[in-house]
Structure formats: C-alpha cells, structure tokens
Amino acid sequence: MIAAGAGLAFITHAPNRLISGQGIPLYSLLQGPTMLLLVPVFALLMLSFVSPDWRVYLLIMLLAELLLTAQTALAGHAALVLTGGDEDSLARISFGGGFWACGALLLLIASDAISRMTSNHSWRVLLNLQLAIPIVLLLVNGQLSQLSLLKEYDNRSDVFDDALWQHLGILLGTLIPAILIGLPLGVFCARRPRWQPAILSVLNIIQTLPSIALFGLLLAPLAGLAKAVPWLGEHGVSGIGAAPAIIALVLYSLLPLVRSVIAGMNSVAPGVIESATGMGLSRIQVFCKVQVPIALPVILSGIRIVAVQTVGMAMVAALIGAGGLGAIMFQGLLSSALDLVLLGVIPVVLMAAVVDGVFKFLVSILETSRT
C-alpha cells in the first residue's frame, strides 16, 4: 500500500474531459494537517508486528476504515481546491491508480481483520457493510462533488437512474424464472440419479457458450416468434432488448442452481429421512419439513452464486439493447471517458457485493438457527 501510494498518481487533473489528465502524487497533497494521514499508515505497519488477538484485529479494521475515509476526503478536498469550487468548471479531477490501489488494499486489510476477529458470519457481513458508511456520508455531505465521477453522475443522473432500475429489473427477471425452473429440475435430478448425467451435460454445454454467442443464437428465433405472434412483440419479446438477455441469463443460471439443489438434497442423511418416515410423516411432509430445511443453506448459496453472476453478466446484455448499467459503461468506452466507464462499473461492483452479503447473511441466520 505504501509503495502504491508513493509510486502511483493519487489523482489526475485535466483541463477538460477530452484531454488526458496530469497525475498528482499523494506526497504533494500531504501538507499541514493532512500529514496526519500518515499516522494510521505507520500504526497499521507497527500492528503487523504485534501478537494478534480480537482487540488487535478490531483496531486494524478501524485504522483501515479511518485511512480509507481520510484518503477519500483528501481526494475530494483536492478536487475542490483545483476547481476553485466552481460547479461549471470544465476541469476534471479523477481518482488515480494510487487511490484505487490503496483503497482496494485497505478494504482487503479491513476484510481480513474482520474474518480473523470473529467466526460469526452475520457479524462478518455487518462489519463489512459498515465499511461503506463513512464514504456514503462524504457523498451525502457533498464533499466529493467536484470529482469528475460525481460530475458525470450529475450530468446523467436521469440516465443513470433509469439504467440502474433496468439492471435491477434484469436481475429480478432472471432470478425468478431461474428459481422456478432450477429448483424443480434439481429436485428431479436428486430423486432420479440416472437422469443427472444427461441433464447436467446439456446445462454444461450451455454454460460453455460465450454470452455474446448465446445472445446471437437467440436473436433469429425470438425475432421470428415476435413476427409470428404480434402479441409477444407488443409485450417486449423480440430479437433484441431485455427478452433475449433474460432468457440467456436464465439458461446460464441453471447449472449452478441445479448443482446446488442436488448437493443440498444429497446432504440430508438417509438416517434422518428414515427417522422422519418412521414417525409417520408422509413423503411430502418429509420433503417439506425435513429435506428442504436441511438443504436450504446450500440452495441459498447456489442462488447467491447465480445472483452475483447475473449482476456481472447483465453488463454484456447492453450490447443487444437490454439497457442497464452496461450501456453507460460501453458509452464511456466508445467516447474514451474513463469516469463514464466507472459510473457504470462501480455501481455493479457494489451491487454484487451487497447481493453477496445479503445472501451470506441469510445463510448464516439459517445455520445459526439450526444449531
């Protein structure tokens, strides 16, 4: 982290978005009170030589969180100084490689300390989520408003909000049918082992297809279907748009979901099923009251994988007109605007982290209640 902060540009300053920015190193910004930023750095360095216990790990987490907040506030303050606080300024102040490297390493330090501090999954999820609170407060207070990333958002707030809702719509539109198809299919495979090789082979073939290729394969059939049945075309089913994207993402989701259901059902010991049957429970009651509760944590883990996978793969769906945050990312790539690319990428990363955390939290609650 020290090497990244000293050797890479902390922020970049450009007269406008069309000109490459000039890198500004971190040491040039450390003047006066900002020199205090070095205190938590050396504190973290010294703590690496201290005999660890939960109190040391808690202090490491707090220092990493403090340093992450301080470096973000420093970048926001530097942007304010360089632009003179002018909202209409054409100057662009962007995060440099040093900022991103230090931020990623600080998050890694904090997450590692949290994982070593407690073995409780619920506490781990909550402590990881609270790392974002100080950054959110800086955003709400407007201390980062002069950064080019926030200016890009201000210029495209309506487009960004629409893209965000479209992305969430693709996520929900994929998860719901994937669960409705994948759960029964997984249960069928678990109860009919002789069908497993054939079904899993088909799903494996689908999984190996590149996403762009699968979108292309769906284009002609869906376009023909919309032409043959105008009602479907009126309701959004066509060769391009959200329909082929959701169908492709559902197909991609089936393999991990079916595998998780099979693993969950197989995790139920035969003796448990025999005991439940001996107590007079019917086959349906054994399934609903015994097998499903025991298999649910494993199944939720599979749904978590599918959800995180869908959040990322939905970015590519923008190439066939499905919208979402991928459209902002590709627009930034075409115009060589890095901040516009980040405006599409960063929310997806955060969304994936939140989805992953929520499902891990649910799994931890189920496992805790069962023990």
Per-residue pLDDT of 114-134, as tens digits, reads 999 988 877 888 898 889 899
The rounded distance, in Å, linking the Cα atoms of 66 and 40 is 8
Contact 211, 314 (CB under 8 A): no
Please count the CA atoms within 13 angstroms of the CA of 200 that sit on its side-chain side: 18
The rounded distance, in Å, linking the Cα atoms of 12 and 35 is 20
Contact 340, 148 (CB under 8 A): no
Per-residue pLDDT of 268-320, as tens digits, reads 888 888 888 888 788 888 888 888 888 888 899 999 999 999 998 889 888 88
Per-residue pLDDT of 54-107, as tens digits, reads 899 999 999 999 999 999 999 998 888 888 766 666 778 888 889 999 999 999
Q: Which two tokens stand for residue 73?
A: 């506030």
Q: Which two tokens stand for residue 213?
A: 């290729």
pLDDT of 211 reads 77
Question: How high does pLDDT run on average in the chain?
Answer: 86
pLDDT of 277 reads 83
The residues, any chain, with a CB within 8 Å of residue 322's CB and separated by 6 or more, are 166, 170, 241, 242, 244, 245, 246, 314
The rounded distance, in Å, linking the Cα atoms of 114 and 123 is 9
CA angle 109, 112, 117 (to 5 degrees): 120
Per-residue pLDDT of 319-355, as tens digits, reads 887 888 888 998 888 877 788 888 889 999 989 988 9
Domain spans in the chain, listed from the N-terminal domain onward: 2-145, 157-370
Give the residue from 210, 238, 216 showing the smallest Cα distance to 226: 238
Please count the CA atoms within 13 angstroms of the CA of 92 that sit on its side-chain side: 21
pLDDT of 290 reads 84
The residues, any chain, with a CB within 8 Å of residue 217's CB and separated by 6 or more, are 209
Secondary-structure class of domain 157-370 per CATH: mainly alpha
Per-residue pLDDT of 175-232, as tens digits, reads 999 999 999 999 999 888 888 889 989 889 888 888 777 777 777 777 777 677 776 6
pLDDT of 104 reads 92
| Furthest-apart CA atoms within the chain: distance in Å | 78
Strand partners, 95: 11
Question: Residues 254, 257, 260, 262: is their CA dihedral positive or negative?
Answer: negative
Give the H/E segment covering residue 363. Answer: helix 338-370
DSSP 20: P
